[in-house]
Amino acid sequence: MICDEHEYPLVRKAVIEDVEPIHEILNTFAAQGRLLPRSLSDLYEHLRAYYVLEPAPGERIQGVCGLGICWKDLAEIESLAIVETFQGRSLGRMLVDACLCEAAVLGLNKVFTLTYIPGFFIKRGFYEVDKSCLPHKIWADCLKCPKFPNCDETALMLQL
């Protein structure tokens, strides 16, 4: 008996067995300077923040995206990465939509992202903001970034 049918590709919450593949995907992009690296311990600690893309039943995940809660009314879309062979199929949109849906369910008013691909997010209603309006992010993560204070990412915001 099938208890739970899903359409594939499937966006789902990450589980423990996804941590090492998430780590590999994110650090591949980090090595290219496209994302910040994430340690295994950080991924285990924040596993519940991540969604993954499973292309077919039992297949290795091919994408990841996280929703980090920063403050009572603010969250961040973070660590969006789709394995290159799966890019260009609206799969990133599916991951971001899952995070935005969760943000709305949690009652968050604003979601931001720091990105090298602003056009992707602008198509989804995000608009550019100055990084100075994100003090929680700057003090929590940006100070640890090797590019700080010369960040070359674009800050974007979405009002929910």
Which CATH number belongs to the domain containing residue 117 in this structure? 3.40.630.30
**How many structural domains compose the chain?**
1
In a domain, 3, yes or no: no
In a domain, 74, yes or no: yes
Can you tell me whether residue 16 is helix, strand or coil?
A: helix
In a domain, 4, yes or no: no
DSSP string covering 119-138, please? HHHHTTT-EE--GGG-HHHH
Q: What is the pLDDT of residues 64-121, one digit of tens each?
A: 999 999 888 999 999 999 999 999 899 999 999 999 999 999 999 999 999 989 999 9
Q: What is the mean pLDDT of the chain?
A: 88
At residue 42, the pLDDT reads 94
Asked if residue 138 has pLDDT above 60, the reply is no
Residue 78's domain spans which residues?
10-159
Instruction: Supply the Cα-derived Rg of the chain in whole angstroms.
Output: 15
Q: Closest by alpha carbon to 66, among 14, 133, 110? A: 14
Residue spans of beta strands (DSSP E) within the chain? 10-13, 50-54, 63-71, 74-82, 110-115, 127-128, 154-159
**If phi over 0 gives left and psi between -120 and 50 gives alpha, with beta otherwise, what is residue 33?**
left
In a domain, 123, yes or no: yes
Question: What is the token pair recorded at 118?
Answer: 């602003």
